[in-house]
Homo-oligomer: A and B are copies of this chain.
């Protein structure tokens, strides 16, 4: 039996590629946190060089020769060599390296360099355009990036839609054709649910969340929650950035960021839970496999499942706040002394159509994604032009959520993704929402005391389960295989829809009293 030891000539080379990626990640982290404003252009050049070198090292003749020896280039599967088979980790490693290599090989080095540089610059222009709510400022860069991404789909190749080539970057194997019915199923039940919630006589006043909350105390509370989740500050840190994110340079150095608004308590709180979920995944990857696909997160959808599980299934649940609300009240006695746990639970779960995706409630969130999914398909398939985006966006928002943004900053300019060239990224948010509930339901089944543990603040029971089931495996399995291993079935919108219908049905008095809390969901 051949093992990972045989692959050492390959993994040693991959480690160098990883070091370049890790360095590039630090450069990006710094760009978002501490870089002085004047440093942007030089940073774009530096990032572009690192990313191009990483690309060139991955598609080097040395790696190509090793893969040619070990991988069947038609199927992408490991070759049996002289009757000697590979063990399971080796087969997974070869399958995934082949995937990375063959995708990278299709992209010319000059193209990688150009794309990286354009994105790094566009990101800074986008930030300025959003600040000024001036779409025209961003338009030339956006046009360039769309053209480059369309060019990229031609290099990568695809079966049905060029958009699939990009989707596959973030969610291996996903296609627009598979996602469309999934979104349709969500829409079919979410829109009626939303209508019933909006029509409900239950009105939730969330004004306590907009009282004045000292920013540094908010951050301290975020750290407390992160620590309780098992996020290790010896191997990570929490900083501020305009857009919260998580980045990892190695399982021993995984950083999360948050943002804090004095009069918006949820912003810091839930971004800490959210990024903490991402952070636990990255800290939980197998250190011994660093630099290989087995030491990398499976996909963005699976990554997002971890953040949404913590943010929503845990962080917006009663058991969690049973433990943490008294601590939050003690941190903000003047602001929350008169707010009961029940009322607080309601405020953080209030449903209301809104303009900004990252502030959307659990019910409307996927409608925001749906809009982006449609728009970016049309852009990449060439049916929509960049200059028409503000109008298309506003029309879509009106149809989906009955709202029209007054400023592009609150509309088409709100997200960073397109400036980064990250077309095909948004759908992974919805996949993450669905996986999150499917995984969490399973955790509740397998850990029958989970709710009691969470009520007692022992969140790491869940962290350990997630690590055993998901984190430590890296890219050993495909997403579908993982879902089957962990939950016994492929991804389905059903658990997610049942969760929402139960939760908001109860909260908005659509299905009887709230006394049973969330325990029934587990039945």
A residues apposed to B, CB below 8 Å: 15-16, 19-20, 22-24, 26-27, 30, 34-39, 41-43, 45-46, 49-50, 53, 232-237, 239, 249-250, 252-253, 255, 290
Instruction: Choose among B26, B43, B233 the residue that contacts A36 (Cβ–Cβ < 8 A).
Output: B233
Chain B residues lying within 8 Å of A234, measured Cβ to Cβ, are: 36-38
Are A34 and B237 in contact, with the CB atoms below 8 A? yes
CB distance from A288 to the nearest CB of B (A): 12
Are B19 and A49 in contact, with the CB atoms below 8 A? yes
Instruction: Choose among B16, B35, B49, B290 the residue that contacts A253 (Cβ–Cβ < 8 A).
Output: B35
* Across the A-B interface, the 3 shortest Cβ-Cβ residue pairs: A39-B253, A42-B250, A19-B49
Are A236 and B16 in contact, with the CB atoms below 8 A? no
Known: A23-B50, A49-B19, A253-B43. A38 touches B237 (CB 8 A): no
Are B38 and A27 in contact, with the CB atoms below 8 A? no
Task: Give 24 A-B contacts (CB < 8 Å), ordered by A residue.
Answer: A15-B45, A16-B53, A19-B46, A19-B49, A20-B49, A20-B50, A22-B46, A23-B23, A23-B26, A23-B50, A26-B26, A26-B30, A30-B30, A35-B253, A36-B236, A38-B232, A38-B234, A39-B235, A39-B253, A42-B249, A42-B250, A42-B252, A46-B249, A53-B53
Complex CA–CA separation, A23 to B41 (angstroms)? 14
Chain B residues lying within 8 Å of A250, measured Cβ to Cβ, are: 39, 42-43, 46
Chain B residues lying within 8 Å of A36, measured Cβ to Cβ, are: 233-237, 252-253, 255
Instruction: Choose among B41, B42, B53, B255 the residue that contacts A22 (Cβ–Cβ < 8 A).
Output: B42
Instruction: Choose among B19, B39, B255 the residue that contacts A249 (Cβ–Cβ < 8 A).
Output: B39
Complex CA–CA separation, A237 to B252 (angstroms)? 26
**Cβ-closest chain B residue relative to A35:** B253
Complex CA–CA separation, A24 to B249 (angstroms)? 14
CB distance from A360 to the nearest CB of B (A): 32
Are B19 and A45 in contact, with the CB atoms below 8 A? yes
Instruction: Choose among B34, B38, B53, B232 the residue that contacts A235 (Cβ–Cβ < 8 A).
Output: B38
User: Given contacts A20-B49, A42-B290, A46-B250, could you give 11 more A-B pairs where the C-beta distance is less than 8 Å?
Assistant: A16-B49, A19-B45, A20-B53, A26-B27, A26-B30, A34-B239, A36-B255, A38-B232, A39-B249, A43-B253, A46-B249
Chain B residues lying within 8 Å of A37, measured Cβ to Cβ, are: 234
Chain B residues lying within 8 Å of A39, measured Cβ to Cβ, are: 235, 249-250, 252-253
Chain B residues lying within 8 Å of A290, measured Cβ to Cβ, are: 42
Complex CA–CA separation, A41 to B251 (angstroms)? 11
Are A252 and B23 in contact, with the CB atoms below 8 A? no
Chain B residues lying within 8 Å of A30, measured Cβ to Cβ, are: 26, 30
Complex CA–CA separation, A408 to B45 (angstroms)? 44
Complex CA–CA separation, A26 to B36 (angstroms)? 13
**Cβ-closest chain B residue relative to A41:** B252
Known: A26-B26, A26-B27, A27-B23. A252 touches B46 (CB 8 A): no
**Cβ-closest chain B residue relative to A48:** B19
Chain B residues lying within 8 Å of A236, measured Cβ to Cβ, are: 36
CB distance from A32 to the nearest CB of B (A): 13
Question: Among A49, A234, A235, which residue has the most Cβ atoms of chain B within 10 A?
Answer: A49
Chain B residues lying within 8 Å of A46, measured Cβ to Cβ, are: 19, 22-23, 249-250
Complex CA–CA separation, A46 to B234 (angstroms)? 19
Complex CA–CA separation, A253 to B36 (angstroms)? 7
Complex CA–CA separation, A203 to B34 (angstroms)? 45
Question: Among A15, A46, A235, which residue has the most Cβ atoms of chain B within 10 A?
Answer: A46
Are A252 and B38 in contact, with the CB atoms below 8 A? yes
Chain B residues lying within 8 Å of A23, measured Cβ to Cβ, are: 23-24, 26-27, 46, 50
Complex CA–CA separation, A34 to B37 (angstroms)? 19
Complex CA–CA separation, A26 to B34 (angstroms)? 11
Chain B residues lying within 8 Å of A20, measured Cβ to Cβ, are: 49-50, 53
**Cβ-closest chain B residue relative to A33:** B34
Are A253 and B19 in contact, with the CB atoms below 8 A? no
Complex CA–CA separation, A438 to B237 (angstroms)? 46
CB distance from A56 to the nearest CB of B (A): 11
Complex CA–CA separation, A237 to B27 (angstroms)? 16
**Cβ-closest chain B residue relative to A287:** B42
Complex CA–CA separation, A232 to B239 (angstroms)? 24
Are A50 and B253 in contact, with the CB atoms below 8 A? no
Are A50 and B19 in contact, with the CB atoms below 8 A? yes
CB distance from A21 to the nearest CB of B (A): 10
Complex CA–CA separation, A49 to B24 (angstroms)? 13
Complex CA–CA separation, A236 to B37 (angstroms)? 8
